[in-house]
Amino acid sequence: QVQLVESGGGLVQAGDSLRLSCAASGRAFSSYPLGWFRQAPGKEREFVAAVSWSAINTLYTDSVNGRFTISRDVAKNTVYLQMNSLKPEDTAVYYCAATPSPRPATVYVSDYQYEHWGQGTQVTVSS
């Protein structure tokens, strides 16, 4: 069983940076692809970024490509989302997700592909 706990959210101004962290428990974490999703008020949850468990591959939604970076630290059982040049439209609750996979290079972009979810952390970007 994997448990995920996000942290690092907050209220920032447009153009600022934040780094979200997601700490995982569970011995199999190193072989889990990971993802970040977000949900803004009144909108459906959307994919933000993903990383394969080998860390070879990453993928980003177009709106954050070049501004956000996903990374993982296997030794710390943690996945990060570095968010730069934040915009008001980035305001949302951010969730990390993990799922077991036998494929070291695979990334997953759909929420139904993930088995484990954190409770979310609020990011608010003021203009």
- Output the DSSP codes for 51-116: E-TTSS-EEE-TTTBTTEEEEEETTTTEEEEEE-S--GGG-EEEEEEE---S-TT----SGGG--E
pLDDT in 10s for each residue of the chain, 127 residues: 789 999 999 999 999 999 999 999 876 778 899 999 999 999 999 999 999 999 999 999 999 999 999 999 988 999 999 999 999 999 999 999 999 999 999 999 999 999 999 999 999 999 9
Place of tokens 């070049």: 66
Judge contact between 90 and 124, C-beta under 8 A: no
Q: What is the pLDDT of residue 43?
A: 97
